[in-house]
Structure 1
C-alpha cells in the first residue's frame, strides 16, 4: 500500500470520522472504500491504438558491408526511378 497525506475541510473530516465510528472502521478504511466507489464512476479508457511501424533490425553497428560503399548503387536506383 502507498501512504499519502490528504487535507479536508473540517466539516468533511468530522463527517468522515462519524461514519468511521458508526461503522467501526478506521478513517483509512472509509477513505479506501470511498475511493474505490469513486473510481467506478470513471471507467478505464481503452489503451491507445499503437501506430504500426516498419520493423527495423539493430545490427549494433556491425555491418557486413560499409554502408558508405553502397551510395553509388542508391544513386543509380534513384536515377532510374526518377525517369
Structure 2
C-alpha cells in the first residue's frame, strides 16, 4: 500500500469525517472506497478526437439560390422598423 497526502477543502473534510464516523470507517478507508467508486463509474478515459472539429462552410448550409444582394435585403427586412 502507498501512503500519500492530499488536500481537501475544510467543509468537505468535515463532511467526510462525519460520514466515516457514522460507518465506523477510517478516513483512509473512506477515501479508498471513494476512489474505487470513481474507477467503477468512470472506467475508461474519454477518447481524444484525432482531428479538430470545423464548422461547415457556407456553401454546405442554407440560402441556396439567393444572391448576396437578396440575403442583404432579407436581413434588413427582418430588422426592427424603429431602427430604420
TM-score normalised by the chain length of structure 2: 0.50
Kindly indicate whether residue 3 of structure 2 is the aligned counterpart of residue 3 of structure 1: yes
Runs (4+) off by over 4 Å:
none
1:26 equivalent in structure 2: 26
Distance 1:44 1:9 in 2: 27
- Unaligned 5+ segments in structure 1 are 46-83
Which residues in structure 2 correspond to 1:43-82 (within 5 Å)? 43-44=43-44
1:44: how far off? 3.9
Question: For this pair of structures, how many residues does the alignment match?
Answer: 45
Alpha-carbon distance in 1 for matches of 2:43, 2:19: 27
* CA deviation string 1:25-61 (max 9, x = no partner): 100000000000011122246xxxxxxxxxxxxxxxx
Q: Which runs of 5+ in 2 are unaligned?
A: 46-84
Q: Which structure has the bigger radius of gyration? A: 1
